[in-house]
Structure 1
Amino acid sequence: MRTRLLLWPALALLGLSSCLKIIKPGKDFGRYTPPAAPDYRMEDHWAALPDRRDSADVVPRGSRFENQQRDAPADVFFVHPTTYLWRKQWNADLDNDRVNRFTDDKVIRGQASAFNNTARVYAPRYRQATLYSFFDDENSTNGAQAIEYAYGDVRAAFEYYLEHYNRGRPIILAGHSQGTVHATRLLHEFFDTNPQLRRQLVAAYLIGYEVKPDEYQILRPCEDSTQTGCYVAWNTVAWGNEYAPYQNSLAVNPLTWTRDTITGPARLNLGGVPYDFRRLDKRIVDAKVHNGLLWVHPPEPKGYPRFLLPGNFRLWHSFHLADYALFYGNIRQNAAARVRAHRMRLGGQ
C-alpha cells in the first residue's frame, strides 16, 4: 500500500522509520480478537448527534458563528480521521475513552462543527484502522484488512443513518484523512449508483486524501461555489512543495472553489481556527492549486501544525492536520451556499 498523506506530528519528531516500528501492531490482523462491534442504536456509538450536546455544537471563541442545527435544512454525515495511533491492535476499541476524548476534543470540534450552521451533524464512532495500517508493507494484507474492517462500521452507520435519521433530507458527506477514504467509498456504493441519493446529495467534502477527478462513473468534481451533487478535495502543503504521487489528484481551491491555478488571495480567507479552537484568524493564508496539491504560504499565527515528510529526495512541509483548520470559515460559508442552491434547484424543499 502506497504511503499517503495520513501522518501525525510524531512522525516528524521521531523519524519515519523509527516511528513506524513503534506503532506497528505486534501480530498479524488475523491473530487478534477484534473489538466489539458498534450498535448505532446507542448514542454512545456516535461522536456527534444533532439532538444532544456534543463537540459538534461549538463555534470558535470570538466569532459570530452560531450553532443552528435545530433548524438546519440539511444533514452532514461526517467521518472523522485517524485518532488511534497505537500498536495494541489493528482497529480501535469503541470503549477507548482516551481515543474518544481526543476524537471529540480535536476533530469533531475542529472539523465537523464547520457544518453546524447549515446541517444537522451525524458523526459515527467506528473501529478505525490504526495509523500504521496506511504504511503497511506491500507484501502484507494486515493494513488493508484493518481499513476494510473500519469501512464496514462506517457503512453500517450510514445505513442506520439513512433508515432512522435522514427522512429524505439533503445530505452533505464529509471526511478527513482516513475518514475521506471511507467517505469516498460511500459515494461509490450509495450515491454514484443510486439516482435518489444523488438527488439528495448537496456535496461531498473529501479532504486530506487522494481523490481522482474521474473517481466516479457519474459524480463529478465541483467547478464553482454553488454547484451541487458534486465533490471537492484538497491536500494542503507549504508553497513550493511537490509530491509526484499526487500530481493527478483532484485539488479544489477552498478560497475560490475552482480547480484553476489562479492564486486565491488571503483576503478571501474567511478565517482559520487554530488547534486549540480559541479564536478565528481571518485572512490566515492564501491558496493556489498546483499539480494535485493545494499550496499555501505558511501562516504567521501559531496553532496550525505542519510537519516534514520525505518525498522527491528531500523533506517537504505538509499542513495535513490543518486541511480544515486553515479554511474553516470558507468551508462553513460554502456548505451553507450549496445547501441554499440545492434547495432552490429542488423547488425550495
Structure 2
Amino acid sequence: MRIRPVLLSAAALLSLGSCLKVIKPSKDFDQYENPAAPDYAQPASWAALPTRRDSADAVPRNTPFKDQQATAAADVFYVHPTTYYWRKQWNASLSNDRVNQFTDDDVIRGQASAFNAAARVYAPRYRQATLYSFFVDDQSTNGQKALDLAYSDVKASFQYYLAHYNQGRPIIIAGHSQGTVHATRLLREFFDTDPALRQRLVAAYLIGFKVKPDEYQTLRPCADSTQTGCYVAWNTVAWGNAYPPFENGVAVNPLTWTLDTLAAPATLNRGGVPQNFDRLDVGVVDAKVHQGLLWVHPPKPSGYPRFLLPGQPQLWHSFHIADYGLFYANIRQNAVARVRAWQARAK
C-alpha cells in the first residue's frame, strides 16, 4: 500500500479504530451518486464569510488578539483540511451537519482564525474527499477521483469569490493537508500563469502537505518575512526523525521565514495555541529545516498532539495536526506584515 500524507484531528484519530479498512468506502467511486454540488451564491456553502459571525472570527481565549476583519485591507481564501473520515461514500455531503460542525469547531477556529488580523476570511465548504482517499493501492483511481471532485468545488468557490467578493483586493491563499492539496493546485492554475492575478497575491501558506520544489513555473518560496507574491510551506516533525511522505519538499521556517537550515531558538516563537484554543504558549517550540521537513523539539505543554495513526508507526513522529497551532502567533503576525509590505509596494 502506498501511503500519502493526510490530516486527522485528535477526535478523528480516536474514532478510527485499529485498521484502515474501517474507513474504506465499500464500493468504487463510480458506483456512488455524488453529493449535490454546492451553490456558492448561498452563504450556507461557506464555512466562513466576513459578513457574518462564524468560527473564523474567533481568537484564542486569554490572549490580546482581536478579530480585525472589519478593517482588513486584504482577503484570505482558506481551504480546510480533511474533516470527513467515514466510509459512507468517497466525498462528503455539504448537508452533513456533523462534518460541518466539526470543520467549524476544529479547523476554522484553530487555523483560519490565524488570519483574521490581516484579512477578511473566506472559507468554502466543499465535497471533501474522505480520509481513505489518501490510502490507496497503486492501481486505484478512487482516491484521485474523490480528490478531483473536491477540487472542482474549491475551484468553483474561488471563481465565485473572484467574481463577487474580491473587488480587486490583495489575496492570501491558505490551506492545510487536503486543503493544501487543493490550494497548491489552485495556485498553479490561477496565479502561476496569470501575471495580473499574481500581482494581487500577498502570499500563499501551503502548510501540511508536500510542495515539490518544481511545483511552479513562476512562483517561488518566500525567502524572508515580508516578501510578497510567494509561498511558504512546512511539515512539522519531532527533531531528528524522518517522515518519508513529506521529505525533500519545500520548507520555510516559520520562526525566521527563511529557507536556510539554521536552528531557530524557541525565543523566536511568539506563541503556540493548543487544540482547546484557551491560551498562548510563548516559546513553545524551536524549529529547524532539515531535508524538507521542519524539525521541532516536542513541546512540553499539552494540546499539541502527534500524528498517531493506528498501524502506521512510521508516521508517529509527525506533528501534522499541530502545524498551525505550534506557530499560531507567528503566522498571525506574518500575515499582517506581508499585507503591509504588499500595500507599500503597490503604492
Amino acid at match of 1:265: P
Counterpart position of 2:326:
326
How far 1:312 sits from its partner (Å)? 11
Amino acid at match of 2:297: H
Counterpart position of 2:134:
134
Counterpart position of 2:36:
36
Contact 1:11 1:19 in 2 (8 A): no
Counterpart position of 1:291:
291
Give the TM-score of the pair, scaled to structure 1: 0.95
Amino acid at match of 1:54: D
Contact 1:124 1:154 in 2 (8 A): yes
Counterpart position of 1:85:
85
How far 1:19 sits from its partner (Å)? 2.5
Aligned to 2:3, the other structure's residue is in SS state: coil
- Following the alignment from structure 2 to structure 1, what is the Cα–Cα distance between the partners of residues 192 and 315? 38
Counterpart position of 1:95:
95
Contact 2:209 2:246 in 1 (8 A): no
Amino acid at match of 1:344: A
Within a 5 Å distance, the mapping from 1:136-285 to structure 2 comes to 136-285=136-285
Aligned to 2:120, the other structure's residue is in SS state: strand
Amino acid at match of 1:137: D
- Following the alignment from structure 1 to structure 2, what is the Cα–Cα distance between the partners of residues 200 and 54? 26
Contact 1:272 1:284 in 2 (8 A): yes
Contact 1:246 1:291 in 2 (8 A): no
How far 1:317 sits from its partner (Å)? 1.1
Within a 5 Å distance, the mapping from 1:45-64 to structure 2 comes to 45-64=45-64
- Following the alignment from structure 1 to structure 2, what is the Cα–Cα distance between the partners of residues 216 and 311? 35
- Following the alignment from structure 1 to structure 2, what is the Cα–Cα distance between the partners of residues 213 and 67? 34
Contact 1:133 1:147 in 2 (8 A): yes
Aligned to 2:199, the other structure's residue is in SS state: helix
- Following the alignment from structure 2 to structure 1, what is the Cα–Cα distance between the partners of residues 194 and 7? 34
How far 1:136 sits from its partner (Å)? 1.4
- Following the alignment from structure 1 to structure 2, what is the Cα–Cα distance between the partners of residues 260 and 271? 22
How far 1:215 sits from its partner (Å)? 1.1
How far 1:265 sits from its partner (Å)? 0.6
- Following the alignment from structure 2 to structure 1, what is the Cα–Cα distance between the partners of residues 209 and 98? 25
Give the TM-score of the pair, scaled to structure 2: 0.96
Aligned to 1:307, the other structure's residue is in SS state: coil
Q: Which runs of 5+ in 1 are unaligned?
A: none
How far 1:316 sits from its partner (Å)? 4.0
Contact 1:243 1:311 in 2 (8 A): no
Aligned to 1:78, the other structure's residue is in SS state: strand
Aligned to 1:234, the other structure's residue is in SS state: coil
Contact 1:244 1:312 in 2 (8 A): no
Amino acid at match of 1:207: I
Aligned length: 346
- Following the alignment from structure 1 to structure 2, what is the Cα–Cα distance between the partners of residues 221 and 214? 11
Structure 1 pair 150–314 and aligned structure 2 pair: CA distance change class (3 A): closer
How far 1:62 sits from its partner (Å)? 1.1
- Following the alignment from structure 2 to structure 1, what is the Cα–Cα distance between the partners of residues 98 and 329? 29
Q: Deviations over 1:32-59 (max 9, x none)?
A: 1111110001101100000100000010
- Following the alignment from structure 1 to structure 2, what is the Cα–Cα distance between the partners of residues 252 and 210? 12
How far 1:10 sits from its partner (Å)? 7.7
